Amino acid sequence: MSSTDFPSLDQSLKSLRAAGIVTAPGGLGLIRVAGDDAATFLHSQLTNAVEDLTASTARLAGYCSPKGRLIASFLMWRDADGIVLQLSADIQPPIQKRLTMFVLRAKAKLSDLSATHGILGIAGAGAEAALQQAGLPAPQAPLATVSDGDVTVIRLADADGEPRWQIVAPAARIEALQQSLGATLAVASPAFWDWLDVASGIPRIAAATQEQFVPQMINFELIGGVNFRKGCYPGQEVVARSQYRGTLKRRMWRVRGTGDVPAAAAEIFRPEDPEQPCGMLVNAAPAPQGGWEGLAELKIDAASGALH
175 and 81 inside one domain: yes
The answer to whether residue 136 sits within a structural domain is: yes
Domain boundary, last residue among 189, 217, 240: 189
Q: How far apart are CA 58 and CA 156, in angstroms?
A: 9
The answer to whether residue 158 sits within a structural domain is: yes
131 and 27 inside one domain: yes
The answer to whether residue 50 sits within a structural domain is: yes
Question: If 0-12 CB within 10 Å is exposed, 13-18 middle and 19+ buried, where does residue 125 land?
Answer: middle
- pLDDT of 103 > 80? The answer is yes
Q: Is pTM beyond 0.85 here?
A: yes
How confident is the model at residue 245, as a pLDDT?
78
Q: Give tens-digit pLDDT for 195-210.
A: 999 999 999 999 999 9
DSSP-based three-state secondary structure for 216 = helix
The answer to whether residue 2 sits within a structural domain is: no
How confident is the model at residue 273, as a pLDDT?
81
Q: How far apart are CA 139 and CA 59, in angstroms?
A: 15
* pLDDT top residue among 272 and 20: 20
In this structure, the strands spanning 117-123 and 162-170 are antiparallel
Q: Give tens-digit pLDDT for 141-177.
A: 999 999 988 999 999 999 999 999 999 999 999 999 9
Query: CA-CA distances (angstroms) from residue 105 to 38, 49, 63, 102, 217?
Result: 12, 21, 20, 9, 34
The answer to whether residue 15 sits within a structural domain is: yes
Domain span holding position 181: 9-189
Question: Once rounded to an integer, what is the mean pLDDT over residues 29-50?
Answer: 98
Residue 244 pLDDT class (50, 70, 90 cuts): confident
- pLDDT of 307 > 60? The answer is yes
The answer to whether residue 222 sits within a structural domain is: yes
- CB distance 126 to 138 below 8 Å: no
* pLDDT top residue among 303 and 55: 55
* pLDDT top residue among 209 and 271: 209
Question: Once rounded to an integer, what is the mean pLDDT over residues 222-233?
Answer: 94
CATH number at residue 129: 3.30.1360.120
33 and 97 inside one domain: yes
141 and 221 inside one domain: no
Question: Once rounded to an integer, what is the mean pLDDT over residues 187-191?
Answer: 98
Residue 96 pLDDT class (50, 70, 90 cuts): very high
Give the mean pLDDT of the chain.
95
CATH number at residue 296: 2.40.30.160
The answer to whether residue 3 sits within a structural domain is: no
Q: Give tens-digit pLDDT for 280-299.
A: 999 999 999 999 999 999 99
Q: How far apart are CA 11 and CA 34, in angstroms?
A: 42
